[in-house]
Amino acid sequence: MKHLLWITGGRIIDPANNRDEIGDLFAMDGKLVDQLSDAEKAEATKVDAAGRVVTPGLVDIHVHFRYPGQTHKEDISTGTRAAAAGGFTTVVCMPNTSPVCDNAGTIQRIIDKVEREAVINVYPTGCLTLGMKGESLAPTGQLKSAGAVAMTDDGACVQSNEIMRRAVEYAKMFDLPIMDHCQDQSLTEGAVMNEGEWSIRLGLRGWPKAAEDIIVARNVILAEVTGAHIHMQHISSAASVDILRRAKDRNVSVTAEASPHHIEFTDAQLFDYDTGFKMNPPLRTEADREALIQGLCDGTLDCIATDHAPHTPTEKDCEFDYAPFGVIGLENSLASTLGTLYHSKRLSLSDVIALMTHKGAEICKLDAGTLSTGAPADICILDPDEEWTVDAEHFQSKSRNCPWHGETLKGKVKATFVAGKQVFDGKSITA
């Protein structure tokens, strides 16, 4: 028996196909189709989307689901449920698990778990170096064959330029993007927040922007030398945006992402030593925040990615110096990004949806982020104007380290569909 879906009367926004119109959307057996017959319509699951926006399912190419080895913080089940509640239908998981994803066996272990427990599409990444130690290369070809869609040592930037060059060259041979967490660790030892006025006021060890800028410049040079595609993760510095802008003017094969927290908050948020705002890279200044927004507006920065990084309340509830870096954001990232970019009139609704759908998918070459005929019927229905107050205590995620807790945002996910089947109804997981 065919599985049929008919979404009626919504404002369909599909940036990849320059579509923005009131209309109907149809799916058959998990794929989008142009039309259903009258008989098929009579049998289809019908969803009234009048007054709401229908978009491709959101795509996030930078999340941490902590499986294997750190499932007290998050696991595949809770992580994907959190993603579905946020309108996401496709995510890319980072490899800094326990053990790390530097071998085909660990990649297969994740894929098997995803098949059993995930309610959305999850793709793994492989480590650039063995043990994420930055000393010798991981088996790139084996990791790709096992299912890795990108290579990264996220959280442990490769410090050796020679090792990074060889890693980049090998990844290019296998047509895999390299995703890099840009941090010169010699400049950040013991650092816990942005170096500047607020670090001095608070008496905390400062983290200079140069630590990011130097590695971004290094990666631009390596991309230019090798012709490989290097993607810069969670950019936070105005100077890095400028370096990337100049590189793109020369047609260097580089891309970059910004995170919702870096485009909304600044280091002034740490005035009361709230570890909920401790992240890597750290929150920067208002000038940096504005540069990130401008970079998203002019295409220098290519997509939004949450860097969803769960930690337990016990881990975060300690002195600022000792708390782990990282925040969660899958369940509110659409609303927070809409507030920063759309409701502030910096970008159109279609532009914001593009940053959170096909633009990220294209970086990792994923079949996601569009409403094209024949594409997977991964769909998000949202009300961009509905206000709600973030309550992390009721999140689908296992963790609660959300800097938006208690904040009133505008933009609510009303339904999420994966392969034509509803997995979230606006209140609860239905898968």
Q: What is the mean pLDDT of the chain?
A: 97
Q: Looking at residues 28-37, what average pLDDT do you find? A: 97
Catalytic pick among 274, 307, 321, 367: 307
Q: Is the pLDDT of residue 206 over 80?
A: yes
287 close to 209: Cβ distance less than 8 angstroms: no
How high is the pLDDT of residue 165?
Answer: 97
What is the C-alpha to C-alpha distance for residues 33 and 371, in angstroms, rounded to an integer? 9
Q: What is the mean pLDDT of residues 55-73?
A: 98
- Residue 40 confidence (pLDDT) above 90: yes
Encode burial over 185-211: b for 16+ CB neighbours within 10 A, e otherwise: eebbeebbbbbbebbeebebebbbbbb
Question: Where does the pLDDT of residue 174 fall: very low under 50, low under 70, confident under 90, or very high at 90 and above?
Answer: very high
Q: Where are the alpha helices (DSSP H) in 203-325?
A: 210-226, 238-249, 260-264, 286-298, 313-316
pLDDT at 281: 98
1 pLDDT above the threshold of 80:
no
Domain 58-363 sits in CATH 3.90.1150.10: no
Asked whether residue 134 carries a pLDDT value surpassing 90, the answer given is yes
- Examine the pLDDT at 39 and tell me if it is beyond 80: yes
Residue 307: active-site member? yes
**Nearest partner of 259 among 331, 333, 193, judged by Cα:** 333
Evaluate if residue 216 carries a pLDDT over 80: yes
Residues 68-101 pLDDT 10s: 999 999 999 999 999 999 999 999 999 999 999 9
State pLDDT tens for residues 284-296. Answer: 999 999 999 999 9
**Is pTM, for the whole model, over 0.85?**
yes
**Strands 4-14, 53-56: parallel, antiparallel or unpaired by DSSP?**
parallel
CA distance 295 to 242: 8
CA angle 423, 12, 373 (to 5 degrees): 75
3-state secondary structure at position 221: helix
How many Å apart are CA 126 and CA 101, to the nearest integer? 5
pLDDT class of 431 with cuts at 50, 70, 90: confident
Whole-number pLDDT of residue 428: 97
**Beta bridge partner(s), residue 405:** none
Instruction: Report the alpha-carbon distance of residue 401 to residue 278 in Å, rounded.
Output: 10
pLDDT tens, residue by residue, 220-243? 999 999 999 999 999 999 999 999
pLDDT at site 182: 98
Q: How many angstroms separate the CA atoms of 151 and 171, rounded?
A: 7
Contact predicate 164/222, CB 8 Å: yes
**What digits encode the pLDDT tens for the residues 294-314?**
999 999 999 999 999 999 999
> SS3 of 78, please?
helix
The Cα 101–Cα 403 span in angstroms is: 29
Q: Whose structure tokens read 């000038």?
A: 287
The percent of residues in the chain predicted with pLDDT above 70, rounded, is 100
- CA distances to 188, 288, 313, 319, 369 from 273, in Å: 19, 21, 15, 8, 38
| % of the chain exceeding 90 in pLDDT | 99
